[in-house]
Amino acid sequence: MSSETSPPSPVPPAPSGGRRKPRVAVVFGGRSSEHAISVITAGAVLRAIDRARYDVLPIGITGDGRWALTADEPERMAIEGGGLPSVGELAESTEGSVVLPVDPGSREVVYSEPGAVPKALGEVDVVFPVLHGPYGEDGTLQGLLELSGVPYVGAGVLASAVGMDKEYMKRVFASFGLPVGPYEVVRPRVWDTDPILARRRITDFADAHGWPVFVKPARAGSSIGIAKVTGPEALDEAVAEARRHDPKILVEALMRGREIECGVLEFEDGPRASVPAEIPPVSDHAFYDFEAKYIDSADGIVPAPLAPEQVARVQELAVRAFEAASCEGLARVDFFLLDSGEFVINEINTMPGFTPISMFPRMWQASGLSYPELIDRLIQAALRRPTGLR
């Protein structure tokens, strides 16, 4: 669509004698390597929002960070023939941009294009940020929304940052007495100034806990940049790939057992856990990587075949992890059920995927909450929550 296309209409006036519908800005895309997954998630959310209850404003963030008005066409936000969608393909203009308010006293959204008078698009009542990875799920966007005084769905600044940084996530969990697996952190300065020392630390860790180990970016998701390393000869290549996404890397020991996931949702009386799910071993993949998740669509088992006491234990740990990280709204907590019978927390996702095949909505559907009801509950919770320190 050309840059001369008119932007969406401002917020419609309230009907005579009534109040206008709350306006939800669905913000997606972003600058991280999970850009496409965020677009897919946004498509599912846009399909599920009850348009009789809410007005919707889709705002996409391009790979280079421009905030763009996008077409409200969820059917275009999907994987087609293995190809991944992007905000650039959905943007109404290649030059126009959207600006959120920076004054807490105003929630007016403005649309501007070069050489044109900025146009007010009306107020936004709540932001539904479905960004994944850095510059969206890591507290940066949440900080902007806090400064703007705009309510938003999901975790705040601290919980978002903790959930994104796998090192500090594990440190927080361990400080609350929650079980985590063995890991080693290699910071950028160490690898850049003394790579021999960095390699020795990783190999010593692997020798102590056994090969293979997993080398991953410390602040990324969707299994992007992760490598399963079976020996020292493959280490440099794995580190280079992880550092392509994040200069800080995490090395984790192999956890032998089953992969279990559990959703957490904030209700009026506090957080509750969903029925858990299981990610079975995938064929033709070394582990549950990006291709297995999104391209080959490896299917999870919902609910997971667990004994009642195991279900109770994983639900308890999921809620405790949610509380330990100071989460709000929602989270998905991933576990390993070791051969010994012990549950170990792998990570927490403060904005889990909402694609049609994502485990979080599937777990809540199995718990009695449909996808549209889940979206509505998250929006309503954000509208009730006060902005600022809480």
Residue 385: the pLDDT is 83
Structural domain ending residue among the three candidates 197, 229, 253: 253
Q: Which two structure tokens, joined as six digits, stand for 88?
A: 């650039």
In a domain, 8, yes or no: no
In a domain, 10, yes or no: no
In the chain, the N- to C-terminal Cα span, in Å, equals 42
pLDDT at 154 over 80: yes
Same domain, 235 and 308: no
Spatial contact of 137 and 160, defined as CB atoms under 8 Å apart: yes
- 114 is in which domain, residue-wise? 23-152
Same domain, 297 and 360: yes
Same domain, 271 and 361: yes
Q: Which two structure tokens, joined as six digits, stand for 33?
A: 């390597």
SS (H, E, C) 239-261: HHHHHCCCCCEEEEECCCEEEEE
* Rounded Cα distance, 389 and 156, in Å: 9
* Rounded Cα distance, 366 and 387, in Å: 32
Same domain, 102 and 228: no
Number of domain units in the chain = 3
Strand 257-267, strand 330-338: pairing: antiparallel
Residue 8: the pLDDT is 53
Q: How many helices (H) and strands (E) does the chain have?
A: 12, 16
* Rounded Cα distance, 80 and 95, in Å: 26
pLDDT at 122 over 70: yes
- Mean pLDDT across the stretch 270-296? 71
Same domain, 60 and 207: no
Same domain, 73 and 208: no
Binned at pLDDT 50, 70 and 90, residue 314 comes out as very high
Phi and psi torsions of 239, nearest 5°: -65, -40
* Rounded Cα distance, 66 and 137, in Å: 17
* % the chain with pLDDT above 70: 89
Tell me the three state secondary structure of residue 203. Answer: helix
Structural domain ending residue among the three candidates 203, 235, 253: 253
pLDDT at 290 over 90: no
Residue 93: the pLDDT is 83
Same domain, 173 and 306: yes
In a domain, 1, yes or no: no
- Mean pLDDT across the stretch 359-370? 96
Task: State the DSSP H helix or E strand holding residue 353, giving kind and residue range, or none if neither.
Answer: none
Enter the pTM of the model.
0.88
pLDDT at 387 over 80: no
